[in-house]
Structure 1
Amino acid sequence: MIGVTYSEEQLHLNTFTIFTRQWLTEGAKATLFVQHGYAEHSGRYKHVGEYFANHKYNVFMMDLPGHGQSSGIEGAPRTYIDSFETYITTINQFVDTMKTKMESKNIILPMFFMGHSMGGLLTSVLAGRRSEMKGFIASAPAYIIKNTGLNLFSWAIQGILKFNPYLTADMDSPSNIITNQEVAREYVTDPFNVCSKACAMTSLEMKSYGEVEKDRDLDIPFYLFHGSGDTLIDVKGARIKATHLNNPVSKYVEYPGANHVLLEEDNKFEMLDGVEKWVDSLIENK
């Protein structure tokens, strides 16, 4: 990519060694942070980074603790987290580190944050805490998880976790949440994904935060998009959240029939174009 410098860097954040990706663009008009979802990693979004870098954005991504090429809690299974706040603190430190890095180069640009699934839920949390951001974008945020066992027996799971904090359960097959089956097969063979077992503690934290976030009012600009055919995260959560978006420029877009992994759908670049146009409108009206 002409005028774009891509790099990878390990950062020490919140006691973890965090793997990061950075696209720095000549003449950038804004900075975009992109956060992956549960059991995946930043590499699944390289096409997103490249798309926005080609459209004059600096882009930053990180692998969450216990995900991808980042370290996790010592002795715990991959994707385990003791508290959702551990993710949030780590993300905040990453954002602050990159912001300071840019400011040291006299690069001061509008900042946006985007996340998918669990990353979309984290985006929703951050939207209520980082008012200096120009706007937030959430793709299929995990407000309501479609898991009967988790939803009916969360009280029992909480009891078991007191004795076995590393309790795991089988995960949904990628073939069920990704429309393109060639992509689903590649997803399974990706060495940095976790496709077999989900950590119950992380799932409960996600459920707990999702219940709060779906009903929380947001005054900051927020772009929310979801697929009506999502088999993992109930689209009703996004529809409820859409009624709590109070800023006149906030927007909800629903893609008929689209499954959970929206940015691997055949029309993913149509979706990214919609996001970019919305972000551009905020930059132009700054």
Structure 2
Amino acid sequence: MTTAREWEFAGTRGAVTARIWSDGDPRYVAVLAHGYGEHLGRYDHVADALVRHGATVCGPDHMGHGRSAGERVLVEDFEDVVADLHTVVESARGDHPGLPVVLIGHSMGGLIAARYAQVHGDALTALVLSGPVLGRWFVTEELLPLDEMPDEPIDTATLSRDPAVGKAYTEDPLVWHGPFKKPTVRALDACIRRINEHGSLGALPVLHVHGDDDRLVPLDGTLIGIEAIRGADLTQRIYPGARHEVFNETNRDEVLAEVTAFVDRVLG
């Protein structure tokens, strides 16, 4: 397993911790954007597969997440998170000038990645969206009218059919297990709407992977958002029976092989 190296930079709202996985002479840069409440340390196996495929891999713990500074899971404007992600991308491009950049976002990270592609698409060669929060999300619709956020931990069985994934998630001290923050819910809703309104990603090659038994980010709501951003080169893979974290699913090797095959096709 490739070992990650950590570095820190001054983000828009405080210090951001980022990770880099690298081994040898890469042929592309893969940038990871993690989901809500988690951190990039949960993606070691994804990074390892990408490094073996020829990537140098990097990404931040978003503000208020993991090892980065800030009140836990508080995001008041996702444009700030996009700006922090851009710092990581630009650093990687500076270290590896001329290499293509592939951005991979999961769940809330898919929202961030899609918005990044709308704002900084010229920096990217391809985009991968895993169970992305796009289009319509029942969570924001249910929480927005409430004055107080319910403190109901997620059912970890919704993450993956592999029970070890839920156990590790529950025991991970860097994962947030408390309630949503109301400003974050407002910011999520605003970003979903902003992406829908901004529209197509044009010629940027996009791969969308999703489990058809995703109860955290249901496929039907996401498809509305995919239609809003779809351009000339969209590939979709929907996995029967798979739950929310397809990179942690029982068929994770199949999913990761789909990602690397997509990258090979794009890099051509």
Relative to the length of structure 1, the TM-score reads 0.85
Alignment partner, residue 145 of structure 1: 137
What SS does the corresponding residue of 1:213 show, helix, strand or coil? helix
Structure 1: distance between partners of 2:221 and 2:133: 8
Structure 2: distance between partners of 1:180 and 1:258: 10
Alignment partner, residue 102 of structure 1: 96
**Structural mapping, 1:32-51, within 5 Å:** 32-51=30-49
Q: Deviations over 1:5-51 (max 9, x none)?
A: 74222222324211111122322111000110000000111100111
How many residues were matched structurally? Answer: 263
Structure 2: distance between partners of 1:233 and 1:23: 28
Letter in 2 for 1:81: V
Please point out which of 245, 262, 267 is paired with 1:278: 262
What SS does the corresponding residue of 2:22 show, helix, strand or coil? strand
What SS does the corresponding residue of 1:175 show, helix, strand or coil? helix
Alignment partner, residue 58 of structure 1: 56
Letter in 1 for 2:201: L
Alignment partner, residue 234 of structure 2: 250
Structure 2: distance between partners of 1:192 and 1:153: 24
Structure 2: distance between partners of 1:6 and 1:36: 15
Structure with greater Cα Rg: 1
Alignment partner, residue 164 of structure 1: none
**Structural mapping, 1:16-35, within 5 Å:** 16-35=14-33
1:212, CA displacement in angstroms?
4.1
Q: Does the 8 Å contact 1:224/1:253 carry over to 2? A: yes
Alignment partner, residue 116 of structure 1: 106
What SS does the corresponding residue of 2:31 show, helix, strand or coil? strand
Residues 100 and 270 of structure 1, relative CA distance in 2, 3 Å threshold = same
1:152, CA displacement in angstroms?
4.7
Q: Does the 8 Å contact 1:263/1:271 carry over to 2? A: yes
Q: Does the 8 Å contact 1:226/1:238 carry over to 2? A: no
Q: Deviations over 1:130-152 (max 9, x none)?
A: 223101111000123233xx415
**Structural mapping, 1:171-250, within 5 Å:** 171-214=153-196, 216-219=199-202, 220-244=204-228, 246-250=230-234
Alignment partner, residue 80 of structure 2: 86
Residues 127 and 172 of structure 1, relative CA distance in 2, 3 Å threshold = same
Identity of aligned residues (%): 25
What SS does the corresponding residue of 1:112 show, helix, strand or coil? strand
What SS does the corresponding residue of 2:254 show, helix, strand or coil? helix
Structure 2: distance between partners of 1:242 and 1:69: 31
Structure 1: distance between partners of 2:163 and 2:133: 22
What SS does the corresponding residue of 1:257 show, helix, strand or coil? coil
Structure 2: distance between partners of 1:264 and 1:212: 29
What SS does the corresponding residue of 2:44 show, helix, strand or coil? helix
Q: Deviations over 1:70-91 (max 9, x none)?
A: 101xxx4x00112111111111
Q: Does the 8 Å contact 1:218/1:244 carry over to 2? A: no
Q: Deviations over 1:218-251 (max 9, x none)?
A: 2121111111111111201332344345544321
Letter in 2 for 1:71: A
Structure 2: distance between partners of 1:55 and 1:102: 16
**Structural mapping, 1:4-23, within 5 Å:** 6-23=4-21
Structure 2 gaps, min length 5: none
Structure 2: distance between partners of 1:198 and 1:238: 20
What SS does the corresponding residue of 2:50 show, helix, strand or coil? helix
Relative to the length of structure 2, the TM-score reads 0.90
Alignment partner, residue 169 of structure 1: 150
